[in-house]
Structure 1
Amino acid sequence: MKTRKRPIIKTWLEDFTDDIVLDSEELRIEYKTIANRTIPPFHGQRVIFDTVIFQNCTFSDSLMERSEFMDCQFKHCTFTNNKLKHSNLIRCEFIHSKLDGTHFTDSQLEDILIKDCTGRYLDSVETTWKVVEVINSNLDESTWFTCKLRDLSLQSVSLLKSDFYDTSLKGVDLSSSIIDGMKTDIHNIQGAIISSEQAVLLCNLIGVNVK
């Protein structure tokens, strides 16, 4: 696995105290700390957050198209039920945060950390995950449809009843993850790394009976 690049934050970030106006097509916020705020749901295009720390914020139920999050950190945040289309997340970290029900469509996530988070019902469609670390997190009942997983690291991740359709797991280490009820097929599971305890379970997943 390639070494993940951390967010580039080399200077002190001043607090963002203005109202967040999201009724225009474009929004850009950079080099700020946003703390203890609720961002109202919105539908925006070309929304750009560059070098922003979100602390204890609620940012949910929004639709963002052709948007970018670069060098951002989300700490103790609720980032649920958002829809991101044709968007990029680069060098971002989600720590002790909620991503439940968030949808990524035709997007790219690169150099991402998801640690101590919940992401149940997360939906990823035709999206590239490149150099992504998921640690001690819950991604139960997540859906992965025609995704590209490149250097995806899973450490103690729950994937109960998750569904990988037309998404290759080659090179992905599942050995420390919970995969009960996971849906995949023999082609997509080829090359994945599993524990000996998971072998029988995996045979059942792909329709092989073990006596």
Structure 2
Amino acid sequence: MKIDNPKIPEDLTEKRFTDIFYEEDTEFEMCMVTDSEFADERLERMRLYKTVIRNCNLKNTDFSRIDLTDVCFENCDLSNANLGNASMNRVEFLNCKLLGCNLTDSYIGNTRFRESILNMVAFGNSKLEKVIFDDAALESVDLFDCKLKKVEFLSCNLNGANFEETPLKGIDISSSHFDSLTVSIENLKGCIISTSQAIQFASLFGLKIKQ
């Protein structure tokens, strides 16, 4: 599946994350933010546009209603950050840690999570459209009542993931692995799975397979 990648110019202005407090509007545009400490802060309705965030500590920060367009996060720690009601388009998270992050009630489009940790992330009631999870850790991730459209899980750890009330028709999880999932038979219809996963689901739903 092809998604639109972030469109970021080469000529970026260097900033530190704390510089946002001195901006007229809470936004960075065409910026490079590197090696910044911005943990345990509160910054609602922030806007990032055509910006690279690299090697930053953003743990426990309240970024609710954040607006991200053409943004790349590299080697960042967003563990337990609040990104509820976020809007994302053409965003990439590369080698990032989003452990326990809140992304409920969000729109996430043309976004790639590559080689990142998303264990226990809450996506509940969000719409994900053209999203690729690539070699991502998604243990105990909560995707309750989400709308998934053109979403791929490539070689991910989905153990303990919750897909309750989320239709998986057309979603390919065949290259990913898990011991258990929370999903109903009804919502599993049309999901693309591997042969070994079919056996797993059969046992999860109480079927006994006779060789």
CA contact (8 A) 2:160 2:182 kept: yes
Residues 40 and 23 (structure 1 numbering): CA distance in 2 closer, same or farther, change over 3 Å? farther
1:139 corresponds in structure 2 to 138
TM-score calculated relative to the size of structure 1:
0.92
| Displacement of 1:207 | 3.2
Summarize deviations over 1:43-65 as a string: whole Å, max 9, x none.
Answer: 33321111110111111212223
Secondary structure of 1:79's aligned partner: coil
Residues 18 and 190 (structure 1 numbering): CA distance in 2 closer, same or farther, change over 3 Å? closer
Residues 45 and 23 (structure 1 numbering): CA distance in 2 closer, same or farther, change over 3 Å? farther
Question: How many pairs are equivalent?
Answer: 210
| Displacement of 1:167 | 0.7
1:39 corresponds in structure 2 to 38
Mark the runs of 5 or more structure 1 residues left unpaired by the alignment.
none
Secondary structure of 2:88's aligned partner: strand
| Displacement of 1:176 | 0.5
| Displacement of 1:22 | 5.0
Secondary structure of 1:103's aligned partner: coil
In the TM superposition, 1:47-86 aligns within 5 A as 47-86=46-85
Determine the C-alpha separation between the residues in 2 that align with 1:22 and 1:14.
16
Residues 6 and 18 (structure 1 numbering): CA distance in 2 closer, same or farther, change over 3 Å? closer
More strand by share: 1
Amino acid at match of 1:120: N
Amino acid at match of 1:191: G
Determine the C-alpha separation between the residues in 2 that align with 1:192 and 1:114.
21
Amino acid at match of 1:118: I
1:159 corresponds in structure 2 to 158
Amino acid at match of 1:187: E
Q: CA RMSD in A?
A: 1.9
Aligned-pair identity in percent equals 25
Residues 35 and 23 (structure 1 numbering): CA distance in 2 closer, same or farther, change over 3 Å? closer
TM-score calculated relative to the size of structure 2:
0.92
Mark the runs of 5 or more structure 2 residues left unpaired by the alignment.
none
1:177 corresponds in structure 2 to 176
Amino acid at match of 1:201: Q
Determine the C-alpha separation between the residues in 1 that align with 2:149 and 2:51.
26
Amino acid at match of 2:122: D
Determine the C-alpha separation between the residues in 1 that align with 2:147 and 2:68.
20
1:188 corresponds in structure 2 to 187
| Displacement of 1:90 | 1.1
Determine the C-alpha separation between the residues in 2 that align with 1:185 and 1:73.
35
Summarize deviations over 1:79-124 as a string: whole Å, max 9, x none.
Answer: 1111222220111001111111111111100000111111111111
1:123 corresponds in structure 2 to 122
Determine the C-alpha separation between the residues in 2 that align with 1:22 and 1:206.
53
| Displacement of 1:210 | 2.5
